[in-house]
Amino acid sequence: MDEKQPDMMPHFVDASRLDDAVVYLKGHEAGMEIDSVDLPSLRRKIDRRLMPYMFCCYVLQFLDKVMLNYAAVMGIKKDLGLVGNEFSNTATWFFIAYLIAEVPNVYFLQKVPAAKWLGGNVFLWGLVAAASSGARNYHGLLAARIFLGIFEATVGPSLMLLSSQYYTRSEQAPRFTIWYMGLGVAQILGGIISFAFQHVLHASLDGWRIMFLVLGLVTSVVGVLTFIFIPDTPMKASWLSDREKVALLHHVSQNQTGVWSSTWNIKQIWEAVFDIQLWLLTVTTILISVSSGVVTTYSATLISGFGFSGRTAALLNMSSGLVSIFFTLLVGFGIRKTSHRWAWNVLCTIPGIIGGGLLSFLPQSNKAGVLIGIYLVNAIVATLPILYQWTVANCAGHTKRVFAAALVAGSFSVGNIIGPQTFQARDAPDYRPAKIAVLATQGAAAVLSVVLSLYYVWQNKRRDKAQGPADQSMIDEMKWAGLTDKENPSFRYVY
């Protein structure tokens, strides 16, 4: 940990670009004995205060999406008279709305603290999820899914930004893993919940309607708790002492990405638009998310296509969650120990490629083989927290980081728009084109992960050659300058 901050305001930097952490440090760090702060203990304290809410938000976000998957085997298509590709369209329009909503998210996440924006949107999506239980036809369900897409769009970027405020780049990977693991947990809980509500046979409401209503209300409660209990910034965390806050800010300053600034910087937007690394991250995320869209919306449908009942399909799909959790934990703590994000990304695409091959080329009569393929494809969901963490670790400057987080989260929705559309009614029951799409996109994502790592290696070597290895005095001067990764000569990319 740095003992002191020699110069928090470089003479060549516009003061309006400085991070809000600078203001706090200038007023509080004088005379602070921060060497006595136990950083592992401080990290555990922060984990206890933040991770439960972040984890619950992600569980509920994915649970909302996977509930539509389970509703498909609970009779929603028949109850609402859905025909042709209408079910696929509801999934697609959710992500179209999700993608469009990322545009205003860039602005609001710059002006409104991520925790407040997250909590408010979680509360509203819970209300809409509960209200969707009253859908009577295709158009009612479609309208509900569109509003859900709007309110859920902020979850990914908000959690990315919150994680980057409290942890160093190496510490972020396991924390991204913890909240992203909510995806696998949601898959398991979804199977149990769906199985339970399918036993509701004589109620005044259909089982899937009660399921939507209950989960929606639970989501709204979590939104309120998130709004109240996650602080706007580390500087406003009432459960941290001033000494702990100063120690934390010094600790995370090594990221050189800042903590919080509400100053809008249009130049950083333009830099992001023309940044090669960001587009490589975006395209990789899209490719990964095509398979994610297939898994999210149609895994239970594929399993029920083997002749299993809706209840059995729900329970069999729970194993997908175990695969997701295993690989998510593996890569999160693997990156913490060894870095090499690109290699972990490629590692997770290998089971996805194998699973896609089994899905594509085994006959439908080989139930065990195809079922294993469905499970293996779930390994690829562990690549998304890698891409999310890679994005906030390598994009400095608050406006640029907000834009990058929204762009990558939006590209997740692009893949999920494409994924469900590969399932066309005319291809039932084996949906061969969709399965081949899973195989092809995973292979392409693996290749791009290697390309991205080579780009980072080249950039770091180019900077070392031009300026020499970054020394500590230069890093200290740039920590809170509000510079982007392109502007900061001491910034080095992680890969």
pLDDT at 317 over 50: yes
Residue 495 amino acid letter: Y
Cβ of 75: how many Cβ atoms within 10 Å?
14
Look up residue 344 and give its two tokens: 């972990």
CA distance 485 to 473: 17
The domain ranges of the chain are 39-236+251-478
**Which CATH number is correct for 39-236+251-478, 1.20.1330.10, 1.20.1250.20, 3.40.228.10, 3.60.40.10?**
1.20.1250.20
In terms of average pLDDT, the best of 21-25, 193-197, 350-354 is 350-354
The number of CA neighbours under 13 Å toward the Cβ of 425 is: 8
Q: How confident is the model at residue 9 (pLDDT cuts 50, 70, 90)?
A: very low
| H, E, C per residue of the chain | CCCCCCCCCCCCCCHHHCCHHHHHHHHHCCCCCHHHCCHHHHHHHHHHHHHHHHHHHHHHHHHHHHHHHHHCCCCHHHHHCCCCCHHHHHHHHHHHHHHHHHHHHHHHHHHCCHHHHHHHHHHHHHHHHHHHHHCCCHHHHHHHHHHHHHHHCCHHHHHHHHHHHHCCHHHHHHHHHHHHCHHHHHHHHHHHHHHHHCCCCCCCCCHHHHHHHHHHHHHHHHHHHHHHHCCCCHHHCCCCCHHHHHHHHHHHHHHCCCCCCCCCCHHHHHHHHCCHHHHHHHHHHHHHHHHHHHHHHHHHHHHHCCCCCHHHHHHHCHHHHHHHHHHHHHHHHHHHHHCCHHHHHHHHHHHHHHHHHHHHHCCCCCHHHHHHHHHHHHHHHHHHHHHHHHHHHHCCCHHHHHHHHHHHHHHHHHHHHHHHHCCCHHHCCCCHHHHHHHHHHHHHHHHHHHHHHHHHHHHHHHHHHHHCCCCHHHHHHHCCCCCCCCCCCCCCCCC
The structure tokens 């709204």 sit at 220
Residue 19 backbone class (left: φ over 0; alpha: ψ -120 to 50; beta: rest) = beta
**Span 91-119, pLDDT tens digits:** 789 889 999 999 999 999 989 999 999 99
Summarised one tens digit per residue, pLDDT across range 379-430 is 888 898 999 999 999 998 889 999 999 999 999 888 888 876 776 667 776 6
d(CA 148, CA 215): 13
pLDDT digits (tens, 9 = 90+) for 240-269: 999 999 999 988 888 877 787 777 889 999
Residue 447 carries which DSSP code?
A: H
Residue 216 CA to its chain's centroid (Å): 20
Alpha carbon dihedral 71, 75, 77, 80, in 10-degree steps, equals -100
Residue 283 has pLDDT above 60, yes or no: yes
pLDDT confidence bin for 11, thresholds 50/70/90 = very low
Q: What's the rounded Cα separation, in Å, for the pair 449 and 426?
A: 34
Instruction: Give me the chain's average pLDDT, please.
Output: 85
Residues 6+ apart with CB under 8 A from 120: 223, 227
CA-based torsion, 76, 80, 84, 88: positive or negative:
negative
The Cα 60–Cα 49 span in angstroms is 18
pLDDT tens for each residue of 124-148 = 999 999 999 999 999 999 999 999 9
Q: What is the pLDDT of residue 478?
A: 63
Quickly state the pLDDT bin for 3 (edges 50, 70, 90): very low
| Length in residues, the chain | 495
Q: How many CB atoms lie within 10 A of CB 436?
A: 16
